[in-house]
């Protein structure tokens, strides 16, 4: 996820009769917070790293509809999606450290120009990401996480307004593809609340019901538990 961050992580949601909850494998990160997913050696190395590094942030307009957002690509993604356009960011020790001070400096620099922040990854270091989300809220900004996982931890949810879930699968496409495995969800008071994937798919009608299971056209479900 880089200067064109949504290319891989964009994602959808038509209703299906299939019921398939993706099983989760949870790991404890270095700070003791559970993040989730993947059993690869790479993901285990990322889990043990305390790095929270990023590329230079980009101002983006499409990742969060109706907002101008500052997007931070966090290095060290553990998901290793085949076809990832941002493989050069998989090493958590590349990029530069996104300390709280540096993050605040960025937000001051862009104050009045942005209405939101988008994190492209970083959930594998939940305490560091949570600190950044808190700071963003103090600046009055809307918060959004693009995750390649199927779950967002309860440690992060109270600080998020939106989350994109689901790995990049090239043959299914991103959020704007009718066959995507990904979903874009609005959170409310720390709970997954409303499926907003239709924002990316103009041919889909808006959903009207809240639910605890968000299901894509491919039969993949994302449970809020």
Binding site for ligand SF4 (CB under 6 A): 1, 8-9, 77, 79-81, 84, 86, 121, 148, 167-168
Q: Residue 52 has which token pair? A: 């929270």
CB closer to ligand SF4, 9 vs 152: 9
When the beta carbons of 46 and 192 are compared against ligand SF4, the nearer one is 46
Confirm if 185 and 163 have CB atoms less than 8 A apart. yes
When CB distances to ligand SF4 are compared, the closest residue is 148
34 vs 81, which CB is nearer to ligand SF4?
81
Q: Which is nearer to ligand SF4, 33 or 121 (CB)?
A: 121
Residue nearer to ligand SF4 on the CB measure, 95 or 148: 148
Question: What is the closest distance, in whole angstroms, from the C-beta atom of residue 185 to ligand SF4 in the complex?
Answer: 16
CB of residue 138 to ligand SF4, shortest distance in Å? 27
Instruction: Quote the least distance from Cβ 87 to ligand SF4, whole Å.
Output: 7
Q: How far is the CB of 20 from ligand SF4 (least distance, A)?
A: 20
Shortest Cβ distance from residue 150 to ligand SF4 (Å)?
11
Q: Is 171 left (phi over 0), alpha (psi -120 to 50) or beta?
A: alpha
Shortest Å, Cβ 89 to ligand SF4 = 7
Among residues 147 and 201, whose Cβ is nearest to ligand SF4?
Answer: 147
């Amino acid at each position: 996820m880089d200067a064109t961050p949504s290319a891989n992580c964009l994602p959808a949601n038509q209703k299906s009769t299939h019921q398939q909850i993706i099983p989760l494998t949870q790991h404890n990160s270095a700070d003791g917070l559970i993040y989730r997913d993947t059993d690869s050696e790479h993901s285990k190395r990322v889990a043990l790293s305390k790095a929270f590094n990023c590329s230079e942030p980009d101002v983006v307009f499409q990742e969060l509809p109706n907002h101008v957002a500052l997007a931070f690509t966090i290095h060290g993604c553990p998901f290793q999606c085949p076809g990832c356009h941002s493989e050069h960011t998989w090493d958590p020790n590349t990029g530069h450290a996104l300390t709280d001070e540096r993050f605040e400096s960025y937000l001051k620099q862009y104050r009045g120009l942005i209405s939101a922040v988008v994190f492209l990854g970083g959930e594998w270091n939940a305490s560091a990401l949570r600190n950044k989300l808190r700071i963003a809220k103090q600046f009055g900004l809307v918060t959004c996480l693009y995750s390649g996982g199927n779950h967002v931890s309860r440690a992060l949810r109270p600080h998020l307004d939106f989350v994109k879930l689901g790995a990049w699968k090239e043959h299914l496409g991103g959020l704007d593809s009718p066959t995507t495995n990904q979903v874009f969800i609005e959170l409310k008071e720390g709970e997954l609340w409303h499926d907003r994937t239709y924002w990316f798919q103009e041919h889909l009608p808006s959903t009207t019901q809240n639910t605890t299971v968000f299901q894509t056209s491919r039969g993949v479900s994302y449970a809020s538990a």
